[in-house]
Amino acid sequence: MEKFLQPRELNQDERAMLDFLLSADFQGRTELRKQAESVQAVAVCECGCGSIDLKVSGMAPRASSKEPIPVEAHGAGVEVLLFVWDGFLSLLEVVDYGDSRPFPYPRIQSLEL
């Protein structure tokens, strides 16, 4: 279940995770990096996992990503997935396989792209 928000800037952990995912080399990355400059959080998952719906504001270029999940990161019992819908950033999803919610946002140092 989602809790809708007034669009807000990403917090420090969300921004760091998005930047980390966008450091990988994949098709459409350049456009998604440009979109990330103006992206906002518009909903959060109420379970405490840290997943957020994203909305690109302003005039950002559409990415040529062919995959709905062009990049992901894995760690011990956790995955972070970046979703792109119709060429725009749409969801930063945190999946906790240990089911220990709520949990702290995954540490980037513990993840691999």
Q: Range of 59's domain?
A: 2-110
Is the pLDDT confidence value at 101 over 60?
A: no
Tally of structural domains, the chain: 1
Task: Confirm whether pTM is higher than 0.75.
Answer: yes
H helix runs in the chain, sequence order: 12-21, 29-36
pLDDT single digits (tens) 14-41 = 999 999 999 999 999 999 999 999 999 9
Burial 41-58 (b: 16+ CB within 10 A, else e): bbbbbeeebbbbbbebee
Contacts of 6 (CB under 8 A, 6+ apart): none
pLDDT in tens, 47-79: 878 899 999 987 888 898 778 999 999 988 889
Residue 36 CB coordination number (10 Å): 18
